[in-house]
Amino acid sequence: MDVAPAPPASSGGDHSTQQAPISPNQNANQAPVALAKATTIENGVQTGGAKKPESCGEKAPAVEPTHSTDASQKDDDEGKPKTELADKVLITICSADRKIKKTFMSLPTRKDVIDKAHKYGLCGNTIVLESNGCEICEDDVLLFAAKEKILLMLLAESEEYVVLPPPSPLNRSERAGSSVDPSFYANNSIVSNPNDSTVSNDETMSLSSVTPSSAKSSALFKEFSIPWSKVPGDIMKLLKGKGSLGKRLNTLANVLVEALREISAHIPIRIFRQVAQQAAEKYPDSLLEKDREGQFIATTPQSLISKMINRNNALNKPQKRGSSGTFEIHIPNKKRKFGGGASNGDAKSLALNRDLEHKKELLISSYRGSSPLEQSVIIEYMKECFPLQRSFFNNSEKIPDITAIKDNWPYIFDKAVLYQHFELLMSIDPRALEKRLATEKDRFFRFFKSSKNKKISSLDETNANFLRGIAYYFNEDPDYIFKHLENSSLSKESLQSTNPTNAPWVALVNSPITTADGVESQMEAKVYIEGQIMATFAAKDEDLPDILAQLICYYYTFNMMYPKEANQTLEFIVVYFLQHSPEQVRSAKKSVTTNGKFNHLIAKLANVHG
């Protein structure tokens, strides 16, 4: 990597700091949206490598040799005040094709960085993150990127940012002799010529574009490519036409699982996620959830992931061996199909299905009180019946309402069972939310106190205000997550009418209780879903993080949409507190998310000091 000496600071004047969010490639709650300037999207896949133009479209100053020493430059720097030099930061920036990479000292302004990059042979006027192409729109964000040693990229008008898979580890010897710096592969993205054979712009996508796991089981699938040629024509027509798959999503999941099982029947959950995510990147309109206005409300194809996991679980049980591939989890309104000669694997799978249905009936009977089960048995049976539950919740032919869910799986509203289901579904412990909220609480309130918004800066330090502050930052309504109510005499219909939403939310109701010392106030949490109280329990302010974790579990378990009044708030909580630890966010060489407003808030929080 060339290290260029620091040239004299630009005399172009001060560059005012704007208060605009980072321009996102994709919203954390929306489908990936490319920068109109930098990226072309075809069927949800970034295509076309970054073009290296013969001319930058502007006359750049004569380029000095990278390692030369300029006496006049040194004299200029020595003559500058020490305070000005001390304000400079270390910038590492590369060209769109990543063949040129420079490191130099610069003032933390976009203008100064661009001017000095031009001096060292780079072309363009748009600074983006090398990891994901997200544009740097504010000098504050540039300063944060410099402090965190995040690699930047300079794009010209005619150049495009494209994420491509890194070379296979089998080609490390070739990589060593390549002109591309090996550090680029740390971010799993390179930019190459559009005619390069490594570009995944055809009907095949490779898992090598996803960070591989060190586990042996994951390594088996490293070279896996989605076999789009095996997908039925009617499904491909829907995908290319950006239409909803409906019940055909099951068929797509079956095709993907069958292809994966040709490698191994033991498929890690992360592989299901990677394959489904790549399919969604190619066809986001068909595979990512949207709201009624057609806006994307998710960044991961959770329905497809769940169907793939359910399919593989059904084929593997009870002895973790592959069957003929014709078995489907029993759904009451579907007819079973039996072949003329069933294999031993088919018979065992059908026996397992009957066993799970029997355990489901035992759970229902226990809930109704006719034959109670021990709590440990309930939790174990619910875990074993996870595939049946996912098949029920994901039924696209008839989406179950909350009444049907309670009739079929009443114990799912028990917190221990709910948390178990969420962890099986997402491979994330929902209890981590409470722990991370506790560790970040002081940081957030220091940030709130510095806010110019009096509605935020005046908040007292409580868990309820912690969530309110985040909602106010996104100009959203925290009452669509939880709401304090003083009147305990209200009926549940009256309570629901105070906040008319079918989404999960919590009424925190102060109820008077009589004690030896008189009448005291006790708060109860009432969890509402689709207008019905699904859980009631005593609660205090310190219990609010746990209540929030339960709400998020309900959203994911039942495939429900966030209310638009609290959409970004809930999505940020999931991104910041569940999927990424703050330490990883601050030390990573790429953004936690490509949602500009999220990154803006994360950058501000990282600069908050005690």
455 shares its domain with 367: no
- Per DSSP, the residues of 200-241 read --SS--BGGGSPPPSSHHHHTTTT-B--GGGS-HHHHHHHHT
195 shares its domain with 212: no
Average pLDDT over residues 238-252: 87
438 shares its domain with 394: no
Average pLDDT along the chain: 72
Is 322 among the domain residues? no
Pairing of strands 89-94, 152-155: parallel
Question: Minimal CA–CA distance to 189: which of 173, 210, 170, 219?
Answer: 210
The dihedral through the CA atoms of 21, 23, 25, 30 has a sign that is: positive
DSSP reduced 3-state for 169? helix
- DSSP secondary-structure letter at 64? P
HSE of 61, CA atoms in CB hemisphere, 13 A: 10
Last residue of a domain, one of 408, 426, 444: 426
Is 537 among the domain residues? yes
Helix H or strand E segment including 513:
strand 505-515
Is 336 among the domain residues? no
145 shares its domain with 31: yes
pLDDT (tens digit per residue) in 87-109: 889 999 999 888 888 999 999 99
Neighbouring C-beta atoms of residue 468, cutoff 10 Å? 22
Q: Distances from the Cα of 202 to the Cαs of 23, 39, 46, 294, 480, in angstroms?
A: 28, 17, 11, 27, 43
467 shares its domain with 550: yes
Neighbouring C-beta atoms of residue 83, cutoff 10 Å? 7
Is 565 among the domain residues? yes
Compare 40 and 357 and report the one with higher pLDDT. 357
210 pLDDT exceeds 50? no
Specify which of 19-28, 59-68, 498-507, 570-579 reaches the highest per-range mean pLDDT: 570-579
- The mean-pLDDT minimum among 132-136, 484-488, 495-499 falls in 495-499
For residue 289, the Cα-to-chain-centroid distance in whole angstroms is: 13
187 shares its domain with 223: no
Give pLDDT, residue 216: 54
Last residue of a domain, one of 280, 296, 316: 316
Is 326 among the domain residues? no
491 shares its domain with 534: yes
Split at pLDDT 50, 70, 90, the class of 595 is: low
481 shares its domain with 593: no
Question: CA-CA distance, 90 to 4, in Å (whole number)?
Answer: 11
Counted domains in the chain: 4
Split at pLDDT 50, 70, 90, the class of 499 is: low
22 shares its domain with 119: yes
Question: E strands, 55-96, where?
Answer: 89-94
72 shares its domain with 161: yes
Task: Return the bridge partners of 526, or none.
Answer: 507, 536
Q: Could you tell me what percent of the chain has a pLDDT over 70?
A: 65
Please list, in sequence order, all residues whose beta carbon lies within 8 angstroms of the beta carbon of residue 394, skipping any fewer than 6 positions away.
303, 306, 307, 310, 559
Compare 514 and 474 and report the one with higher pLDDT. 474
**Whole-angstrom distance between the N-terminal and C-terminal Cα of the chain?**
37
Average pLDDT over residues 106-119: 93
Compare 153 and 32 and report the one with higher pLDDT. 153
Give pLDDT, residue 328: 40
Residue 519, classified by CB atoms within 10 Å of its CB into exposed (0-12), middle (13-18) or buried (19+), is exposed
- The pair of three-digit structure tokens given for residue 497, joined into one six-digit string: 């009418």
Domain around 458 = 431-579
Task: Return the bridge partners of 483, or none.
Answer: 507
Length of the chain in terms of residues written:
610
271 shares its domain with 234: yes
587 shares its domain with 566: no
